[in-house]
Amino acid sequence: MPRPHFDLIVRGGTLVSPRGRHEADLGLRAGRIVALGDLGDADAHELFDARGLHVLPGIIDSQVHMREPGLEHKEDLETGMLAAAAGGVTAVCEMPNTKPGTTTAAALADKVARVRGRAAVDFAFFAGAAADNVEQLAALETQEGCVGVKIFMGSSTGNLLVPDDASVRRVLRATQRRVAVHCEDEERLEERKALIGAGATALMHPVWRDEETAFKATRRLVALLEETDRRAHVLHVTTAEEMAFLAGKKRWASVEVTPQHLTLAAPDCYERLGSYAQMNPPIREARHREALWRGLADGTVDVIGSDHAPHTREEKERDYPNSPSGMPGVQTLVPIMLDHVAAGRLSLERFVALAAENPARLYGMRRKGRIEIGCDADLTIVDLEAEREIRNDWIRSRCAWTPFDGMKVRGWPRATVVRGRIVMREDEIVAPGSGRPIDFDLVAPRA
C-alpha cells in the first residue's frame, strides 16, 4: 500500500485551539488540512520541523486599512499584506475608507481585482455605508470578497459618515450580516472641537474625543440593535464605561479591542510618541486599559484586531490636530499579544479564540480559524520562548515605522502558512502573491 503523500507536513508542533493543546503532525494538501496525528511514515513535497514550536490556527486581523486606492503613498494592498504575512497573520479584512470609498459594487470589485496575484495573505473587504448607498448594501454584502458593511458613526480618516439614528437604522434594516461599527458620536465631536486651542498637542486627543463621545455612540447603537433585532461588532472599544455596558449586551453586540489600547496608556504614550500615538478612538488613561483587560478576561471581548492604519512620518509630524489619526499594527499584532501571553495577562488558548476562531465565526468565514480536517491550511507557527526587539527596520508597511519601536517582546512568529503554502519563514517572505478572497456564509451566525 503506497504511503500517504502531502504537499506539506508540519511535523511535531504543539497544536493550539481555544480548548487546549496537544502535539501532532499536520498533513496539508491542495490548500486544506487533510490529516492530523502521527504522520511519521508519510511523504511530502516539503517538511516543516515544528518541534518545540506552537502551531496556531491562522491569525485573522479583521480590521485593517490598506489605503489603496487613492492613498498609496501611505500603504497599498500589496505592502500591507506583506506586513501581515511578516507578522504571522494569514488573513485580513480591509476597511472601506479609501479614495474613492468602497461604497459601490464597482469599487468593491475593483479592490478584489487589484489585489489578485499581489496578496501574500487571504483577504476580504468591507463595504462602506453612506447616505446615498443604503439601497445597494444588501447586494454589496453578498458580493465576492465582501466581509460585511462598516458604519462610521463619527468622522475619522476619510469621508464615510452615518451620524444620525435614522440613517443607522436604515442601514441596519437594509442588511443581514453582522455590521462593523466605529462608535463615536459626531455631534459631540463637533461640539468639543473648540476645546483644541492654539499650540495644542496630541495630549488633547483623548480630551477632545472623550469617553462620553465613544460611550454615547455605543449606547445609541445598542438601542437601535435592540429595536431592529440586528447584530453588530463594536470596533476598537476604549472605555471602562463601554466595556461594563457591553458586558450585558452580548445578544446584540460583539466587542473588539486593539493591541495598542491594551498596551499603551495616556498621558505617557503622548508624551513619548506625540502624534505617533494618535488614533481614533484615542488611547486613554490606564484605568481604561485595565478595564479592557478585565473585559478580555471575563469574556466580554470577542476579538483582537489591529486597526492597522498607516500614515507617513511627514504626515504624523504635522502640528496637532492637523496630524492624521492612525498607526500601523498588522505586523505587530502577534508579537505584542504573545508578549502579553508570556506576561500571564491571557492564555495562548484565549489569544487563539480572540484572533482566529472568533473573527471567523462572527463574520461567517468558511473553513477559517480552526485546525481541523477540511479547514483551509492556514497556520501561524510561533516560538513562545524567542526574545526579540520590535524595530522600525523590521516593518514592511510602506510607512516604515511602528509605535512599538524598541520594545522587547517574548514570543515571535516563525512561519506563516496560507492555504498550505509557507509564505513567511524566519522573517523572510518566501511565497508572495498566494492569497485569495475569503469565502463566507451569506448570513453570519447570530451567536
Q: CA-to-CA distance for 404 and 390, rounded, in angstroms? A: 6
Integer CA distances (angstroms), 112 to 68, 116, 125, 435, 444, in order: 11, 6, 8, 11, 21
Integer CA distances (angstroms), 180 to 30, 129, 202, 308, 372, in order: 32, 10, 27, 15, 28
Instruction: Please give the grid coordinates belonging to residue 111.
Output: 479592490
Does 307 qualify as catalytic in the annotation? Answer: yes
Instruction: Please give the grid coordinates belonging to residue 92.
Output: 485580513
For 369, left (φ over 0), alpha (ψ -120 to 50), or beta?
left
Give the closest residue to 217 by CA, choosing from 165, 262, 261, 179: 165
Q: What's the N-to-C CA distance of the chain in angstroms?
A: 46
Sign of CA dihedral 258, 262, 263, 265: positive
Question: Where are the strands (E) in 97-225, listed by range?
Answer: 122-128, 146-152, 179-182
Give the closest residue to 95 by CA, choosing from 122, 134, 59, 68: 68
Task: Determine the distance from the C-alpha atom of residue 337 to the mean position of all C-alpha atoms in its chain, rounded to a whole number.
Answer: 13
Q: Which residues have CB under 8 Å from 113's CB, separation 6+?
A: none
Helices (H), 145-210: 165-174, 186-192, 205-208
* SS3 call for 320: coil
Q: Which of 25, 185, 210, 307 is catalytic?
A: 307
Residue type, 215: F
Catalytic residues: 307
